[in-house]
Amino acid sequence: MPEYTGSPRAAGRRFAVVASRFNEPITSKLLDGALDALRRHGVDADRIDTAWVPGAFELPIAVRRMLATERYDAIVAVGAVVRGETPHFDYVAAEASRGLAQASIDFDRPVGFGLLTCDTMDQAEARAGGEHGNKGWDAAIAALEMADLLDRVESDET
């Protein structure tokens, strides 16, 4: 029985990172983490595109448009939604998450999920290069592994 496992191999692949400008002190660190992970795993800088969107709610449409070009093997989405005093957080976090998952399914391409949904800015800082690591890095590694896994399944390479 075949068993498939992806590895963070970048050979010949092209990626994009879509970053939210809202909460930019956090999202710029997530972007840096994602770019660092991609480069350290062999993605040439000229095979990585970066796009900025106004906020987390806009991540899905940018990701969808980029996936529709068929230029990318995977996309990494990074952003930060921090809970406030109104239910706005719930709507933005849920819809951005749903939209990113749906884009991945609709276009049959991995979307690395680097969208923080935190109660406080301290929690966001801890996940953007602080004590809990860098979730932008983690999302890029997931995108690399999934791109490789899908290629292995398609080619039936074990």
**Under 8 Å between Cβ of 19 and 30:** yes
- Asked if 81 and 121 touch (Cβ cutoff 8 Å), the reply is no
Contact by Cβ (8 Å): 139, 74: no
Q: Give me the active site residues, please.
A: 88
For residue 155, the number of C-alpha atoms closer than 13 Å in the C-beta half-sphere is 9
